[in-house]
Structure 1
Amino acid sequence: MPRTRFPRFVFDTGNEPDPRFTMANERTFLAWIRTSLALLAGGIALEVLGLGLHEGLRIAASLVLMLAAVIAAPLAYLGWARNERALRNNTALPASPFGLPLALCVTLAGVLVLLAYLLR
């Protein structure tokens, strides 16, 4: 009996792509996971260290970073799955929905930290 691969909704479709493309897709997924961990660490560090910043704005910036981290991780998985299915079905890769929301979150957190510094 052949071993089934998880998740089935990805691997039960199409044909095996070139392993180089699958591994590149996995590296991209892991890069998004590292980004998520960095956002989480930044949000926690901002809150724990305090840095003498305006409390309300510091907390808001910290929450924005941690929320972005919590959202980025599952989106990374969904992006990996969508790309893997496209590779297996020999279709065009879907556009990534991550860039703009992540850029907006980091920009918002940066503005909040800047204001927290100026208003301390």
Structure 2
Amino acid sequence: MNARMARVLRTALFTALLLCSGATLAPVAAQDIAGHWILAVTLDTGSGDANFVFAVEDGKITGTYAGTLGEEQITGTIEDNVAIFGFESADAGEISFLGIVDGDTMTGECDYGIVGSGTFEGRKQDG
């Protein structure tokens, strides 16, 4: 199995586990992620911090990314406590994040295109 297929399968499994676990729990209130976040990203190839500024309206995420890959506009969605967001990088391809939000913290998995995949932990910086 190649690395790309392994990442896709791991992400699908993670998503399935999230959906299954949510079916047995009480509904989770929508999380407010608007504001500045710093995510500590750990990839197969190394680690570093990514800065995000999120805006949310009607469950749709917009905002900016600033990090190793430069500065980019992001888009995504949030439902209950699950945030899915990302951007397209000219250097690395499609970059995606799937995170679980708990107040002012977020943890999850990420895929940095050709750079590699990994995990992240983040904290809201304001509010």
- Output the TM-score relative to the length of structure 2: 0.28
Structure number with larger C-alpha Rg: 1
- Output the TM-score relative to the length of structure 1: 0.29
Greater percentage in strand: 2
Structure number with higher relative contact order (C-alpha < 8 Å, ≥ 6 residues apart): 1
